[in-house]
Amino acid sequence: MIQWYPGHMAKAKKEIQEKLKLVDIVFELLDARIPFSSQNPEFQKIFASSKRLIIITKSEMADKNETAKWQKYFKNQGIDSITVDSISGANVKNIVNSAKVVLEEKIKKDLARGLKPRAIRAMVVGIPNVGKSTLINKLTGKHSAATGDKPGVTKAQQWIRINKDLDLLDTPGVLWPKFESITQSYHLALSGAIKDDVVRKEDMILYFLDFLKKYYPSNLVDRYNVNIDDDNVLILEKIGRNRGFIKANEVDYEKVYEVLLTDFRSLRLGRITLDHED
């Protein structure tokens, strides 16, 4: 089984637990393409008695129907969720209201006790690269937190005041010691949460082709002009030849893998959700 749990993540997890008593609510960020694989199983325990709001990021990259199914799935577990696109800013402004709904009882109680309303203190948690810092920057409207297209950009916790209604604690991305399955590690690597070299790239690509054939055949056919009945190696070869990726008369498969990964991550393969409930 694949493992990738560098020491700094254990530390980051400990710091999350330490700060828990200071916050009113936890914003658990999940990647819309992998709402299941990006959910840290250890968080269930850590946040068992915390108020939680799931924020599904990168929603414009995922398959809308699947996202709706996942929101229903979380609702059935009693957890509210909201979808956002932190690049365009779609729905980002609604986060405060969703948080107020989750905290309704507490807010009412505080008012009844005569306490002055104060900003909601929220901790932003999630796997590396899920978009924690980008979301915070969209909310502040400026570059308050470092972001980057690779896992592990945020190194330390940081409080950021959004407005009079909201204070956010940015935290470094955290994974867990053992992934549930090889599929989960492929989904994490494909989406960029873990580095490609944590899994065997060739196996991951073959898995991805099988996945596309099953769930998004027309995306595959439309993009690369291949036949859905071709076997995976032939498909890779065709893509390589079409692109002119030839080295010493052979197809340069490494380059073909990169094309598939880049096309998926840049939406050139269309909107795709990797985690399907069935």
Ligand X SMILES: Nc1nc2c(ncn2[C@@H]2O[C@H](COP(=O)(O)OP(=O)(O)OP(=O)(O)O)[C@@H](O)[C@H]2O)c(=O)[nH]1
Where does this chain bind Mg ion (CB under 5 A)?
Answer: 132-133, 153-154
User: Residue 172, interface with ligand X (CB under 6 A)?
Assistant: yes
Distances (CA, A) of 8 to 11, 12, 17, 175, 247: 5, 6, 14, 10, 40
Question: Between residues 67 and 134, which has the closer beta carbon with respect to ligand X?
Answer: 134
Instruction: Give the position of tokens 């979301």.
Output: 135
Question: Binder to ligand X among 9, 25, 54, 130 (CB under 6 A)?
Answer: 130
Question: Between residues 81 and 236, which has the closer beta carbon with respect to ligand X?
Answer: 81
Stretch of residues binding ligand X (CB under 6 A), selected from 152-160, 216-224, 246-254, 255-263: 152-160
Rounded to a whole number of angstroms, the minimum distance from the CB of residue 157 to ligand X is 11
User: Residue 185, interface with ligand X (CB under 6 A)?
Assistant: no
How far is the C-alpha of 20 from the C-alpha of 206, rounded, in Å? Answer: 41
Question: Which of Mg ion, ligand X, none does residue 35 bind to, with CB < 5 to 8 Å depending on kind?
Answer: none
Vertex 105 angle, CA 135 and 32, to 5°: 30
HSE of 43, CA atoms in CB hemisphere, 13 A: 25
Rounded to a whole number of angstroms, the minimum distance from the CB of residue 172 to ligand X is 5
- Give the nearest residue (CB) to ligand X: 173
Distances (CA, A) of 217 to 212, 232, 260: 5, 13, 14
Question: Between residues 56 and 99, which has the closer beta carbon with respect to ligand X?
Answer: 56
- Asked whether 151 and 173 are in contact (CB, 8 A), the reply is yes
